[in-house]
């Protein structure tokens, strides 16, 4: 049965969602999102996107953004039922259409200095059963028109942040054996726990967590490994790193000078791989949820940085469409190290949401590079960045390759090898 957003928001009359504990935790998430995630500057505008069911969190973030000095918070809501209606009733020749006017407006807002806040929580299975060709065409069209705004984000020109809100359909995917109301409650509890909101002062707790992540990134930037080697069941992968790559983690300074945490939660230390220097085979360790399809059992082989052979035990057709998006879709744009003991991994949950699942395990990302993870890029055009190893694509899709069975070594230019992770855990002391 379709759930009305008003019904969901009035669930506060029942159970955990009516409790003072839930209200306090939601307010903490709103404060962390505005002050630690975005770190809104006085006088700065905020552009926020969110699903309808996230309205309670939107209100908390908006309140804290204004308390921090925001001049204007503008929120754009999405509705899954109207999204689904397009695929159910839209004409065949309409799926190459995208709202370029809206994408252009957002890009203009970012260029003018607005911060970007995104609340995720959509149903990962929303488009399951819909025509995959229509979904692929619509996705490509949206990627094309959104590219100017995406480049501002991937270049880290402005402060931005992604957080999550529990929604009924998403909760039922994570907890399929529970009644809907209980599933929503459990998903909220999980979000609060892995977002490090359980202490007395979550802002201070995030500062301490960022300090640990920064020490790991600083170590990797000091030693300047030439490549990483991942090894374990089904994986023997050499990932060369881009020339002048830079490791990043946690809170970082955006191009506008504001220090922000782009992801709440985050457990990763990440950088830009060289698009031509990836060799070997790698197997996924967790399923990838993409546009309504769960892609599982992924195994690919790289030659010269490009995927030349792929297989998935589930969702192979969708993966093939992803890899055919453009030339850069078969190359890597990110490599990230995450300990197997991260809070998200310890939860034992498959969130079917990249914001969470990528922070449960070391991962790689197909597609667009983050040029923020490269040094001395000012004045360099796309060709110059590509010569240094940066990849260009309309997509950026993370999938998990780490586990308690995966080892990672750092390799220097002379062939020296240093253990970084054993059994999925850091072995370097920082």
Per-residue pLDDT tens over the stretch 176-196: 999 999 999 999 999 999 999
CB 124 within 8 A of CB 289: yes
In a domain? residue 202:
no
- Do 97 and 133 sit in the same domain of this protein? yes
- The residue whose two tokens read 């509705």 is 79
Comparing CA positions, the residue from 337, 348, 325, 339 lying closest to residue 423 is 339
User: Can you tell me the distance from the alpha carbon of 345 to that of 360, in angstroms, rounded to the nearest whole number?
Assistant: 4
pLDDT at 348 exceeding the cut of 50: yes
In a domain? residue 262:
no
Comparing CA positions, the residue from 189, 198, 61, 200 lying closest to residue 119 is 61
In a domain? residue 7:
no
- Do 168 and 239 sit in the same domain of this protein? no
- Do 30 and 162 sit in the same domain of this protein? yes
- Do 174 and 225 sit in the same domain of this protein? no
In a domain? residue 242:
yes
- Do 367 and 238 sit in the same domain of this protein? yes
In which domain, by residue range, is 157 found?
16-195
The full 3-state SS of 377-407, as one line of letters, equals CCCCCHHHHHHCCCCCCCCEEEEECCCCCCE
- Do 387 and 296 sit in the same domain of this protein? yes
Going from the C-alpha of 178 to that of each of 18, 108, 126, 185, the distances in angstroms are 19, 44, 19, 10
Q: Which residue has the higher pLDDT, 240 or 382?
A: 240
* Residues making up the chain, counted from first to last: 430
283 three-class SS: strand
In a domain? residue 8:
no
In DSSP notation, 38-82 reads I-PPTT-EEEEEEEGGGHHHHHHHHHHHHHTT-SEEEEEEE-HHH
pLDDT at 366 exceeding the cut of 70: yes
In a domain? residue 255:
no
- Do 141 and 171 sit in the same domain of this protein? yes
Q: Which among 170, 195, 220 is the end of a domain?
A: 195
- Do 215 and 277 sit in the same domain of this protein? yes
In a domain? residue 333:
yes
In a domain? residue 45:
yes
- Do 271 and 402 sit in the same domain of this protein? yes
Going from the C-alpha of 391 to that of each of 136, 251, 377, 383, the distances in angstroms are 21, 24, 14, 10
**CATH number assigned to the domain comprising residue 167:** 3.40.1830.10
- Do 174 and 218 sit in the same domain of this protein? no
pLDDT tens-digit series, residues 62-102? 999 999 999 999 999 999 999 999 999 999 999 999 999 99
pLDDT tens-digit series, residues 194-213? 999 987 889 899 999 999 99
- Give bridge partners of residue 280 from the DSSP assignment: 237, 302
- Do 121 and 63 sit in the same domain of this protein? yes
Number of domains in the chain: 2
> How confident is the prediction for the chain on average, in pLDDT?
92
pLDDT tens-digit series, residues 91-115? 999 999 999 999 999 999 999 999 9
| Token reading at 54 | 């996230």
pLDDT for the residue numbered 14: 62
321 three-class SS: helix
- Do 20 and 159 sit in the same domain of this protein? yes
Q: What is the mean pLDDT of residues 16-36?
A: 95
């Amino acid at each position: 049965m379709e759930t009305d957003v008003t019904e969901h928001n009035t669930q506060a009359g029942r159970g955990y969602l009516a409790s003072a504990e839930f209200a306090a935790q939601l307010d903490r998430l709103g404060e962390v999102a505005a002050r630690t995630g975005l770190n809104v500057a006085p006088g700065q505008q905020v552009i926020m996107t969110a699903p309808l069911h996230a309205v309670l969190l939107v209100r908390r973030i908006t309140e804290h953004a204004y308390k921090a000095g925001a001049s204007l918070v503008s929120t754009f809501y999405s509705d899954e039922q109207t999204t689904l209606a397009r695929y159910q009733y839209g004409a065949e020749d309409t799926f190459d259409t995208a709202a370029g006017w809206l994408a252009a407006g957002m890009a203009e807002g970012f260029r003018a200095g607005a911060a970007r806040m995104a609340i995720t929580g959509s149903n990962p299975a929303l488009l399951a059963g819909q025509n995959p060709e229509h979904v692929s065409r619509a996705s490509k069209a949206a990627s094309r028109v959104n590219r100017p705004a995406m480049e501002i984000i991937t270049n880290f020109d402005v402060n931005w942040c992604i957080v999550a809100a529990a929604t009924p359909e998403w909760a039922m995917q994570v907890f399929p054996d529970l009644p809907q109301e209980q599933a929503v409650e459990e998903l909220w509890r999980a979000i609060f726990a892995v977002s490090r909101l359980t202490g007395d002062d979550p802002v201070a707790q995030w500062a301490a967590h960022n300090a640990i992540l920064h020490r790991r990134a600083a170590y990797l930037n000091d030693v300047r490994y030439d490549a990483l080697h991942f090894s374990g069941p089904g994986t023997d992968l050499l990932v060369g790193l881009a020339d002048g790559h830079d490791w990043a983690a946690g809170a970082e300074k955006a191009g506008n000078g504001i220090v922000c945490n782009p992801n709440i939660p985050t457990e990763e230390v990440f950088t830009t791989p060289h698009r031509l220097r990836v060799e070997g085979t790698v197997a996924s360790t967790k399923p990838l949820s993409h546009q309504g399809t769960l892609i599982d059992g992924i195994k690919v082989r790289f030659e010269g940085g490009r995927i030349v052979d792929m297989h998935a035990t589930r969702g192979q057709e969708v993966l093939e469409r992803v890899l055919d998006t453009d030339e850069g879709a078969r190359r890597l744009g990110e490599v990230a190290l995450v300990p197997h003991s991260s809070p998200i991994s310890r939860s034992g949950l498959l969130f079917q949401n990249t914001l969470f699942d990528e922070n449960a395990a070391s991962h790689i990302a197909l597609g667009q590079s983050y040029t923020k993870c490269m040094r001395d890029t000012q004045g360099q055009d796309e060709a110059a960045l590509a010569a240094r190893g940066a990849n260009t694509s309309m997509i950026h899709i993370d999938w998990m390759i780490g586990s308690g069975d995966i080892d990672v070594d750092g390799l220097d230019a002379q062939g020296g090898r240093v253990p970084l992770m054993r059994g999925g855990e850091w072995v370097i002391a920082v």
